[in-house]
Structure 1
Amino acid sequence: MAKATRKKTPVAPMIEFSRSRDIPFNRIHLSDSNVRQIDVEDGLDELTHDIDRREDIVQGLNVRAVLDADGAETGDFETPAGGRRYRAIARLVQAGRFPADGLVPCLVKKANAKTSAVDDSYAENVIRLALHPLDQFKAFKRMVDDGMSKEEVADAYRTTPRYIAQRLRLARVATSLLDVYARGEMTLAMLEAFTVNPHHARQEQVWEAIQRSHNRQPWHIRDLLTETTVPTDDKRALFVGVDAYEQAGGVMLRDLFSDEDEGWLENPELLDRLVSDKLKAIADEVAAEGWKWVAVDTDLPYGHDRGLRILAGTFLDLTDAERATREALREEYERLEAENADYDELPDDVDARLGEIEAALAAFEKRPTIYDEAEIARAGVFISIGRAGELVVARGYVRPEDEAPVDVEGQDNAGDGEPGAETGAVAAHAGVQRAVITIGGEPVDAEDDEDETIKPLPERLVIELTAHRTLALHEALANNPHVAMTTLLHRMVMERYHYSAPTGCLEISVRQPYLSTQGNDLGETPSAKAIGERYDAWKADMPTDEGALWDWLAALDDASRMALLAHCVSYGINALYERPNPHSGSGVSQHGLDRRLSGADRIARATGFDMVVDGGWRPTVSNYLGRVTKPRILEAVREGAGERAAQLIGHLKKGDMAKEAERLLADTGWLPEPLRLADLDGDVAGAEGGGEAQELPDFLADDEDDGDGTDDTDTADLDDERHLAAAE
Structure 2
Amino acid sequence: MTSTPTEFPATIASARPPQLPPAILRKAVTFDQLEISRFNVRTNRTAQMTIEALGRSILALGLVNALKVHPLKGGKERYGVHAGGRRCRAIGALIKAGALPADWPIDVVVRDQLTEAQLLEESQAENMMRLDLEMYEIAEGVVRSHVAGDSLETIAERLGQEPRFTYRAYRLGMLAPPIFDALKAGTISQAQAEAYGATEQQTLQLAAFNALRLLSPIEQTPDRIRAWLKIGDAEAARLLRFVGQQTYLDAGGALELDLFDDPADAAPARALICHPDLLRQLADAALAGVRDEIRRRAARPDLRFVPQPPQASFGGPDHFLNIPELAVVLGEETEITLPEGDVVGYIQIAASGDPKISFWWESTKAKYSTRKPVDTAAPA
Q: Are the structure 2 counterparts of residues 302 and 14 from structure 1 closer, same or farther at C-alpha, using a change threshold of 3 Å?
A: same
Which secondary structure does the structure 2 equivalent of 1:123 belong to?
A: helix
Higher relative contact order (CA 8 A, sep 6+): 2
Q: Are the structure 2 counterparts of residues 97 and 20 from structure 1 closer, same or farther at C-alpha, using a change threshold of 3 Å?
A: farther
Q: What letter corresponds to residue 217 of structure 1 in structure 2?
A: T
Cα distance in 1 for residues equivalent to 2:350 and 2:41: 62
- For 2:3, the equivalent position in structure 1 comes to none
- For 1:509, the equivalent position in structure 2 comes to none
Cα deviation digits, residues 550-574 of structure 1 (max 9, x gap): xxxxxxxxxxxxxxxxxxxxxxxxx
Match of 2:92 among 90, 94, 97: 90
Match of 2:348 among 373, 385, 390: 385
Cα distance in 2 for residues equivalent to 1:234 and 1:297: 22
Alignment of 1:547-566 (within 5 A): none
Tell me how far 1:188 sits from its aligned partner: 0.9
* 2:253/2:275 contact within 8 Å kept: yes
Q: Are the structure 2 counterparts of residues 257 and 232 from structure 1 closer, same or farther at C-alpha, using a change threshold of 3 Å?
A: farther
Give the unaligned 5+ runs of structure 1. Answer: 1-7, 316-361, 402-728
Cα distance in 2 for residues equivalent to 1:95 and 1:263: 39
Tell me how far 1:207 sits from its aligned partner: 2.5
Q: What letter corresponds to residue 248 of structure 2 in structure 1?
A: Y
Match of 1:244 among 242, 247, 260: 247
Alignment of 1:138-149 (within 5 A): 138-141=140-143, 146-148=149-151
Cα distance in 1 for residues equivalent to 2:302 and 2:135: 62
1:60 matched to 2:44: no
Cα distance in 1 for residues equivalent to 2:322 and 2:258: 48
Give the unaligned 5+ runs of structure 2. Answer: 1-12, 264-268, 367-380
* 2:82/2:119 contact within 8 Å kept: yes
Cα distance in 1 for residues equivalent to 2:336 and 2:95: 80
1:168 matched to 2:170: yes
Q: Are the structure 2 counterparts of residues 284 and 156 from structure 1 closer, same or farther at C-alpha, using a change threshold of 3 Å?
A: same
Tell me how far 1:34 sits from its aligned partner: 1.6
- For 1:23, the equivalent position in structure 2 comes to 28
* 1:20/1:105 contact within 8 Å kept: no
Q: Are the structure 2 counterparts of residues 91 and 266 from structure 1 closer, same or farther at C-alpha, using a change threshold of 3 Å?
A: closer
* 2:139/2:173 contact within 8 Å kept: yes
1:79 matched to 2:88: no
Q: Are the structure 2 counterparts of residues 275 and 44 from structure 1 closer, same or farther at C-alpha, using a change threshold of 3 Å?
A: closer
Cα distance in 2 for residues equivalent to 1:12 and 1:185: 43
Match of 2:221 among 217, 234, 253: 217
Which secondary structure does the structure 2 equivalent of 1:116 belong to?
A: helix
Tell me how far 1:133 sits from its aligned partner: 0.5
TM-score using structure 1 length = 0.39
Cα distance in 1 for residues equivalent to 2:203 and 2:102: 58
Tell me how far 1:45 sits from its aligned partner: 3.3
Tell me how far 1:305 sits from its aligned partner: 10
Cα distance in 2 for residues equivalent to 1:12 and 1:158: 43
Cα deviation digits, residues 565-610 of structure 1 (max 9, x gap): xxxxxxxxxxxxxxxxxxxxxxxxxxxxxxxxxxxxxxxxxxxxxx
Cα deviation digits, residues 494-539 of structure 1 (max 9, x gap): xxxxxxxxxxxxxxxxxxxxxxxxxxxxxxxxxxxxxxxxxxxxxx
Match of 1:267 among 249, 258, 275: 275
Which secondary structure does the structure 1 equivalent of 2:49 belong to?
A: coil
- For 1:508, the equivalent position in structure 2 comes to none
- For 1:128, the equivalent position in structure 2 comes to 130
Q: What letter corresponds to residue 334 of structure 2 in structure 1?
A: P
Tell me how far 1:156 sits from its aligned partner: 6.6
Q: What letter corresponds to residue 89 of structure 2 in structure 1?
A: R
Tell me how far 1:185 sits from its aligned partner: 1.3
Tell me how far 1:43 sits from its aligned partner: 1.2
Cα distance in 2 for residues equivalent to 1:201 and 1:55: 38
Cα deviation digits, residues 625-647 of structure 1 (max 9, x gap): xxxxxxxxxxxxxxxxxxxxxxx
* 1:19/1:109 contact within 8 Å kept: yes
- For 1:685, the equivalent position in structure 2 comes to none
- For 2:371, the equivalent position in structure 1 comes to none
Tell me how far 1:204 sits from its aligned partner: 2.4
Q: Are the structure 2 counterparts of residues 301 and 243 from structure 1 closer, same or farther at C-alpha, using a change threshold of 3 Å?
A: farther
* 2:70/2:79 contact within 8 Å kept: yes
Tell me how far 1:10 sits from its aligned partner: 10
Cα deviation digits, residues 253-283 of structure 1 (max 9, x gap): 5444345533343433222211111122233
Identity of aligned residues (%): 23
Alignment of 1:178-193 (within 5 A): 178-193=180-195
The alignment covers a number of residue pairs equal to 337
TM-score using structure 2 length = 0.68
- For 1:466, the equivalent position in structure 2 comes to none
Q: Are the structure 2 counterparts of residues 207 and 116 from structure 1 closer, same or farther at C-alpha, using a change threshold of 3 Å?
A: same
- For 2:4, the equivalent position in structure 1 comes to none
